[in-house]
């Protein structure tokens, strides 16, 4: 499996979604360089500081992303750096029902940011022993406590 430097910015929030509203995780990521295309060049790595907080609907991500871009003055051709300090304050909603693992209808709020199920990958890439990070073959969470008390293991699906 090939990983990109931007994978350091992908956060598994399955455990947080099983927590009550108000629970949060703090995130600090340093030293990440990402491809910004042909027109933009990162002069320094990203610095990310964020808080991911559980809400009754999903999670809210609040924080800042900082970096510098390399550029050249169009008048005198001197190299310069442009500092970026971007605030982040976004709500992100689940794309699957936590209790059943079935896809949610996202047509009611098509503009909402959605959490995506974890990508299937080698078991070595996932932390061991954390049931909130285990998935079945379809990529659905296994053992994630949801709104149904005591639910464990593979979600039961009813036949139509």
pLDDT by residue for the chain (160 residues), tens only, comes to: 456 777 778 888 888 988 999 999 999 999 988 888 888 889 999 999 999 999 998 999 999 999 999 998 889 999 999 999 999 999 999 888 877 878 888 888 888 888 877 665 444 344 444 444 445 444 444 444 444 434 444 444 444 4
Sign of CA dihedral 30, 31, 33, 39: positive
| Interstrand relation of 24-32 and 79-93 (parallel, antiparallel or unpaired) | unpaired
Q: Supply the DSSP string of 30-99, one letter for each residue.
A: EEE-----SS-EEEEEEEEEEEEEE-SSSEEEEEEEEEEEEEE-TTT--EEEEEEEEEEEEEEE-SB-TT
Nearest alpha carbon to residue 36 among 84, 78, 75: 84
pLDDT at 103: 87
Q: Are 90 and 51 in contact (CB under 8 A)?
A: no
Do β-strands 59-72 and 24-32 pair in parallel, antiparallel, or remain unpaired?
unpaired
* pLDDT value at residue 160: 43
> DSSP class of residue 25?
E
Domain boundaries, the chain: 5-133
pLDDT of residue 90: 92
What is the signed CA dihedral for 153, 154, 159, 160, rounded to 10 degrees?
Answer: 110
């Amino acid at each position: 499996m090939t990983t990109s430097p931007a994978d350091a910015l992908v956060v598994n929030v399955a455990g947080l979604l099983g927590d009550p509203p108000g629970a949060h995780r703090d995130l600090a990521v340093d030293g990440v360089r990402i491809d910004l295309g042909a027109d933009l060049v990162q002069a320094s790595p990203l610095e990310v500081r964020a808080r991911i907080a559980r809400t009754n609907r999903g999670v809210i991500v609040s924080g800042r992303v900082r970096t510098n871009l390399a550029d050249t003055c169009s008048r005198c051709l001197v190299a310069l750096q442009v500092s970026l300090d971007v605030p982040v304050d976004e709500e992100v909603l689940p794309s699957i029902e936590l209790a059943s693992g079935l896809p949610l209808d996202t047509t009611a709020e098509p503009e909402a940011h959605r959490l995506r199920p974890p990508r299937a990958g080698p078991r070595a890439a996932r932390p061991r022993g954390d049931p909130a990070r285990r998935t079945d073959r379809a990529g659905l969470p296994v053992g994630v406590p949801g709104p149904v008390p005591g639910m464990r293991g593979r979600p039961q699906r009813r036949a139509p």
